[in-house]
Amino acid sequence: QISDVELQEILDSRGNPTLRVNLHLDTGLTATADVPSGASTGSEEAVERRDGDPARYQGRGVVGVAASAGAALSRRLVGTRLGAAEDLRPLDDQLRDLDGTPNFASLGGNVAIGVSMAAIRAVADNLRTPLWQLINWLLNERLERPVQPILPVPHFNVINGGAHASNGLAFQEFMIAPLGISRLADRVRAGAEIYHTLRQTLADHQYDVGLGDEGGFAPAVHRPETALTLLVEAIKAAGYEPGPDGVAIALDPAANSFAQRSTMPSGPATYVVDNTSYEADELIDYYEQLIDQFPIWSIEDGLDENDWDAWSLILHRLGDRVQIMGDDLFVTNTGRIRRGIRQSCANSVLIKPNQVGTVSQTLDAVAVAYRAGWTAMVSHRSGETADTFVADLAVGIGCGQLKSGAPARGERTAKYNRLLEIAHDSDVADPYPLPGRLRPIGV
Ligand code: PGA
Ligand code: ZN
pLDDT of residue 265: 64
Q: Which residues are annotated as a binding site for substrate?
A: 164, 173, 300, 327, 379-382, 403
Q: What is the mean pLDDT of residues 90-117?
A: 98
Ligand 1 atom with least separation from CA of 300: 9
Provide the residues around ligand 2 (an ion) whose CB is within 5 A.
252, 254, 301, 327
Q: What is the mean pLDDT of residues 351-369?
A: 98
How many whole angstroms from 327 Cα to the centroid of ligand 2?
Answer: 5
Classify burial at 264, counting beta carbons within 10 Å of its beta carbon; exposed 0-12, middle 13-18, buried 19 or more: exposed
Evaluate: CB of 381 within 6 angstroms of ligand 1. Answer: yes
Evaluate: CB of 40 within 6 angstroms of ligand 1. Answer: yes
State whether ipTM is beyond 0.90: yes
Q: Which residues are annotated as a binding site?
A: 164, 172-173, 252, 300, 327, 352, 379-382, 403
Cis peptide before 36 (omega within 30 of 0): no
Print burial letters for 136-156: b (CB count within 10 Å at least 16), e (below 16). Answer: bebbbeeeeeebebbbbbbbb
Q: Name every residue whose Cβ is closer than 8 Å to that of residue 80 and which is 6 or more positions away in sequence.
A: 1, 2, 87, 90, 91, 94
How many whole angstroms from 37 Cα to the centroid of ligand 2?
Answer: 13
pLDDT of residue 439: 66
Q: What is the mean pLDDT of residues 243-266?
A: 90
Ligand 1 atom with least separation from CA of 301: 8
pLDDT of residue 285: 98
Q: What is the mean pLDDT of residues 305-328?
A: 97
- Work out the pLDDT band at 440, boundaries 50, 70, 90: low
- Checking if the pLDDT of 337 tops 60, the result is yes
Residues designated catalytic: 214, 352
d(CA 132, CA 397): 8
pLDDT of residue 266: 66
Percent of all residues in the chain with a pLDDT value above 90, rounded to a whole number: 95
Among the bound ligands, name the one nearest to the CA of residue 303. Answer: 2
Evaluate: CB of 327 within 6 angstroms of ligand 1. Answer: yes
- Checking if the pLDDT of 441 tops 70, the result is no
Which helix H or strand E contains 261, and what residues bound it? strand 259-261
Q: What is the mean pLDDT of residues 75-89?
A: 97
pLDDT of residue 442: 44
How many whole angstroms from 256 Cα to the centroid of ligand 2?
Answer: 9
| Contact in structure between 36 and 387 (CB atoms under 8 Å) | yes
- Work out the pLDDT band at 67, boundaries 50, 70, 90: very high
Evaluate: CB of 252 within 6 angstroms of ligand 1. Answer: yes
Q: What is the pLDDT of residues 399-414, one digit of tens each?
A: 999 999 999 999 999 9
Q: What is the pLDDT of residues 215-247, one digit of tens each?
A: 999 999 999 999 999 999 999 999 999 999 999
Evaluate: CB of 48 within 6 angstroms of ligand 1. Answer: no
How many whole angstroms from 328 Cα to the centroid of ligand 2?
Answer: 6
pLDDT of residue 261: 84
Ligand 1 atom with least separation from CA of 380: 3
Q: Which residues are annotated as a binding site for Mg(2+)?
A: 252, 300, 327
- Checking if the pLDDT of 443 tops 50, the result is no
pLDDT of residue 268: 79
Question: Mean of the per-residue pLDDT values for the chain?
Answer: 96
Q: What is the pLDDT of residues 183-224, one digit of tens each?
A: 999 999 999 999 999 999 999 999 999 999 999 999 999 999
Evaluate: CB of 257 within 6 angstroms of ligand 1. Answer: no
pLDDT of residue 434: 86
- Testing ligand 1's pocket by substitution, the residue of 40, 110, 385, 402 carrying the most ligand atoms inside 8 A of its CB is 40
Evaluate: CB of 415 within 6 angstroms of ligand 1. Answer: no
- Checking if the pLDDT of 92 tops 70, the result is yes
Q: Name every residue whose Cβ is closer than 8 Å to that of residue 279 and which is 6 or more positions away in sequence.
A: 268, 270, 271
- Work out the pLDDT band at 437, boundaries 50, 70, 90: confident
Q: What is the mean pLDDT of residues 146-174?
A: 97
